């Protein structure tokens, strides 16, 4: 299967007759961590067995975001990053369903009949061991099995993936990131944690302070990270640079509501507005704080740069 052939389908209204017939799984897949990857391997094996496309069903907003809004847990990745990660796992189709009042009001049985059977014509469904759905919360593995016997599809579940005796989960990864334990988070993710996006024009304040930055708008209520970090930034052309990054709302200069990722790259002078960049977090240097003056901020930024450079001197193998 060629991962470049992944098809992204936005909304049930964009499903076509050719999309009927698939092997599917459903979930948020936030982070596409090792636990998710185990589900996706099982999905690919089933898809190969049935000789049908492997389909992942996602929801936007994620159900807990629909109900909790700004109080929902921070996302580990944006939708675009998630689709790219699913593509790397060999998934042929991603269906992104809008989670709204209409979907929220569907019972588990209605979701099975209207979405899984009528619209998708699923032959096999892979679900996690803790999967629940439907406004009545009756949707679980047992109900899916019973429905499958009546509606001609099969179901398999996956066991919880444990690492060092603990469940691999997005919640656990968020906690590790918040604690600054990037090595442990990377172990659960199967890769170092990073944030990415396109570099946007900013207020040029960093340049005025002698620390020019590349700005990436994270476009989310919250970020799983906040503070100042030593980072490695990678561009699509394969070039990479060490640097220092701030993730937060810039309380000294603006007090933004949505988090911004600002990256100062060492020994770098190219104009990169509009370029895509991926920023890997190596270690946490300090918390974000509000300074009394721009001079105080400037002095701290210079210290951050010294601290980050020294960290990379002490850890040469990590860049």
Could you read off the pLDDT of 69-125 as tens digits, one per residue?
878 889 999 898 999 999 999 999 999 999 999 999 999 999 999 999 999 999 999
| 3-state DSSP assignment of residue 79 | helix
Model pLDDT, residue 84 = 92
| 3-state DSSP assignment of residue 180 | coil
Model pLDDT, residue 3 = 42
Model pLDDT, residue 255 = 53
| 3-state DSSP assignment of residue 6 | coil
Model pLDDT, residue 288 = 87
Contacts of 189 (CB under 8 A, 6+ apart): 31, 32, 33, 34, 173
Model pLDDT, residue 293 = 86
**pTM, to two decimals:** 0.88
Cα gap 299→296, rounded to integer Å: 5
What residues of the chain score a pLDDT lower than 50? 1-3
Model pLDDT, residue 161 = 86
């Amino acid at each position: 299967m060629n991962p470049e052939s992944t098809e992204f389908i936005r909304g049930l209204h964009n499903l076509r007759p050719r999309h009927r017939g698939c092997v599917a799984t459903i979930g948020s897949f936030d982070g596409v961590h090792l636990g998710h990857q185990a589900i996706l391997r099982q999905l690919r094996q089933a898809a190969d067995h049935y000789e049908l496309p492997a389909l992942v069903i996602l929801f936007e907003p994620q159900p807990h975001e629909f109900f909790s809004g700004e109080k929902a847990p921070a996302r580990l990745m944006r939708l675009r990053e998630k689709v790219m990660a699913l593509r790397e796992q060999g998934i042929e189709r991603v269906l992104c369903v809008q989670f709204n009042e209409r979907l929220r009001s569907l019972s588990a049985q209605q979701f099975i009949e209207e979405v899984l059977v009528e619209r998708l014509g699923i032959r096999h469904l892979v679900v996690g061991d803790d999967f629940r759905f439907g406004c009545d919360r009756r949707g679980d593995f047992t109900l899916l099995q019973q429905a499958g016997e009546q509606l001609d599809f099969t179901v398999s579940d996956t066991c919880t993936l444990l690492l060092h005796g603990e469940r691999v989960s997005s919640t656990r990864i968020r906690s590790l990131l918040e604690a600054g334990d990037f090595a442990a988070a990377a172990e659960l993710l199967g890769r170092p944690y990073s944030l990415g996006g396109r570099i946007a024009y900013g207020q040029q304040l960093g340049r005025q302070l002698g620390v020019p930055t590349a700005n990436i708008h994270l476009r989310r209520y919250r970020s799983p990270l906040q503070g100042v970090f030593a980072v490695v930034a990678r561009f699509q052309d394969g070039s990479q640079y060490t640097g220092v990054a701030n993730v937060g709302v810039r309380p000294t200069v603006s007090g933004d509501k949505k988090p911004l990722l600002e990256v100062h790259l060492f020994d770098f002078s190219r104009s990169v507005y509009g370029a895509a960049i991926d920023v890997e977090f190596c270690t946490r240097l300090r918390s974000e704080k509000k300074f009394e003056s721009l001079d105080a901020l400037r002095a701290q930024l210079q210290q951050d740069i010294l601290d980050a450079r020294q960290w990379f001197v002490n850890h040469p193998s990590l860049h």
